[in-house]
Amino acid sequence: MIDDETLSHLEELARLELAPEERERVKADLAAVLGFVDALADLPEGEDASDLAAPQRTRPDVPRPGLPRDAALALAPASRDGYFEVPRTVEEG
């Protein structure tokens, strides 16, 4: 658990000033982060946090048609000769 002295030291290092009503919440949050770091340190060699995560539920990566060029250009504020027209951001030199 993070004590008041440690939290005060962290405030000083980070140049923060926590309101009295924030102190307990911040101490709990810091304790949770440190607990997570401790759990990572206990992982067997060669494993990382992603090995602990729940299985990923993603859709298959299947190609599908994109937005037609005319439809995309119709959404643009400006277009010219079949391309998006944007303001110049780099000076020629």
Q: Rounded to 10 degrees, what is the CA torsion of 6, 7, 10, 16?
A: -160
- CA pair distance 90, 87, nearest whole angstrom: 9
Q: What is the pLDDT of residue 46?
A: 65
Q: Give domain status of residue 37, yes or no.
A: yes
Environment class of residue 78 by beta-carbon count within 10 Å: exposed (0-12), middle (13-18) or buried (19+)?
exposed
pLDDT tens digit at each of 93 positions of the chain: 789 999 999 999 999 999 999 999 999 999 999 998 888 878 777 655 565 555 667 778 899 999 999 999 999 999 999 999 999 888 877
How many domains, the chain? 1
Q: Give domain status of residue 16, yes or no.
A: yes
End-to-end CA distance of the chain: 59
Q: Give domain status of residue 91, yes or no.
A: no
Q: Give domain status of residue 90, yes or no.
A: no
Q: Give domain status of residue 58, yes or no.
A: no
Length of the chain: 93
Q: What is the CATH number of the domain that holds 36?
A: 1.10.20
Residue position matching structure tokens 């010219």? 80
Range of 23's domain? 4-51
